[in-house]
Structure 1
Amino acid sequence: MRTEQQIMDLVLTIAEQDKRIRAVGMNGSRTNPNAPKDIFQDFDIAYIVTEMDSFINDTTWIDIFGERIIMQTPENKSMFPPELGDRFTYLMLFTDGNRIDLTLIPIEKKDEYCREDKNLSEEKWQEVLSTYPNGSYESIWKALFAMCDLFRSTAIFVADNLDFNYPYEEDKKVNAYLIRVERLSPDGSEIY
């Protein structure tokens, strides 16, 4: 698993070498000194860019971040409208267990981005936990796998009826990753 410093160096090096990227931002738990550190913390990165089309139209540029298990681009989903306005997000899970949520933000929206507060309060976190049957570790895993099963069966049904190809190989990789994570000891320091 690449270290936090290796990921940060990579993120900054890419930005320094690409003149379309004018600034780098970071939010989420890694920016909160009170948030406990664990191996599941993702890197919530924002690139402030001069234009977006060249990034979106040629996705091979993203390969520089490393080999992925899966990448999702929510703004490319046709069934649901984009929720981030002018932004574009790459949600990436890498084969070394690291996760990067990379958001492209047009330079014209930089001030709006800089004013956002993205940390959840303890009270809000407890509200999120309360959406699970009892908030326990075991019930969260049970709920996660139940959600995966429901998603899989629904997605296969939709794909079959609308003549789409269901990504069985990605499904298999993500499921294997989740099973591996579930089996980690509570004090685990590496995913792989």
Structure 2
Amino acid sequence: MRDETQMMQTLLEVASTDDRIRLVTLEGSRTNVNIARDHYQDYDVSYFVTDMDSFMKSDMWLDVFGKRIFMQKPEDMELFPPELGNWFSYLMLFEDGNRIDLTLIPTEEVDTYFENSDGLVEVLLDKDHRVRKEVVPSDRGYWIQKPTTRMFDDCCNEFWWVATYVAKGLARGEILFAIDHLHGHVRSNLLRMMSWKIGIEKGFTFSLGKNYKFIDKHLPMDDWNLLLQTYIQNDEEAVWKALYTCFDLFRTYSKSVAREFEFTYPDYDSAITTYIGSIRDNV
């Protein structure tokens, strides 16, 4: 498997020898000093180019990066509409296991790119000195966000309201409907509330990672194990159990957050719990 030095050398050599490529940036986890390096990280690279169409006429120019075993071009798909406007990306997996997510961006959109950057950007090559300010990669945009009163209320409201959909789905025998709402709304708001409690304890100055992937490092072991149990959803009884476990965890964390910030914990918890209990009793 090619190492990071070899991969970066190839990416920069291609850019250096092609006059159409004027600026190169690196994005994502490889710019984040708080993320440990491993072989599974993508190389998220953007080439700012003067002639987009000339690159898109053929994919042969990509062969220099290695033998591909798979490639996706999101902006050339019908089922999933493109989201990058004038940009065009190539998501490539190579036979040695390396991955490159390469995006072509018109040079006239340099300013727009940096204005909308999430902060995790490093300039690798700037032939025309287009970047006038120093760019220092930072994951600040992903730090745990301190909640406002409205954010807290909205989180509680969404958690308890969508919990009724989970119960409704289970009552109807629609387990996939129930699981989807449990995962997409109920547990996601539980994780959000947990993150706020972690911020209270350890400061709102770091990120828990995409999909809260580092949250286990900051939760008490008992709570982490309970959270994991909410992912066991292989039958209807398991989904009921997962839902009620979410209730218990959410109460604990939301009440703690409420005390810290002097928020008001909603009184509809009791009414919704009773309502859902009546549904379960009749299933």
| Same fold, judged at TM 0.5 (above) | yes
Length, aligned pairs only: 134
CA contact (8 A) 2:208 2:214 kept: no
Separation in structure 2 between the aligned mates of residue 135 and residue 28 of structure 1, nearest angstrom: 28
Residue 5 of structure 1 is matched in structure 2 by 5
Residue 96 of structure 1 is matched in structure 2 by 96
| Inter-CA distance 84–59: structure 2 relative to 1 (3 Å threshold) | same
Note the alpha carbon deviations across 1:111-165, whole angstroms, 9 max, x for none: 12123015444246354789xxx886xx7xxxxxxxxxxxxxxxxxxxxxxxxxx
Note the alpha carbon deviations across 1:56-87, whole angstroms, 9 max, x for none: 11111011100011010000002232101111
Indicate the larger mover: 25-34 or 78-87.
78-87
- Give the % identical residues: 49
Q: Which 5+ residue runs of structure 2 have no aligned equivalent?
A: 121-138, 144-206, 216-225, 232-283
1:39 is paired with a residue whose SS is coil
Separation in structure 1 between the aligned mates of residue 42 and residue 227 of structure 2, nearest angstrom: 21
Q: Which 5+ residue runs of structure 1 have no aligned equivalent?
A: 140-192
| Inter-CA distance 86–98: structure 2 relative to 1 (3 Å threshold) | same
Looking at secondary structure, tell me which structure has more helix per residue: 2
1:46 is paired with a residue whose SS is strand
Aligned residue type for 2:17: Q
TM-score (norm 1): 0.64
Separation in structure 2 between the aligned mates of residue 135 and residue 37 of structure 1, nearest angstrom: 27
2:105 is paired with a residue whose SS is strand
Q: For 1:1-192, what aligned pairs fall within 5 Å after superposition?
A: 1-115=1-115, 116-117=117-118, 118=120, 119=139, 120-121=142-143, 122-123=207-208, 125-127=210-212
Aligned residue type for 1:37: R
Structure 1 residue runs of 4 or more that deviate by more than 3 Å after TM superposition: 118-121, 126-130
Mark the structure with the bigger radius of gyration. Answer: 2
The structure with higher relative contact order (CA 8 Å, sep 6+) is 1
C-alpha RMSD over aligned residues:
2.2
TM-score (norm 2): 0.44
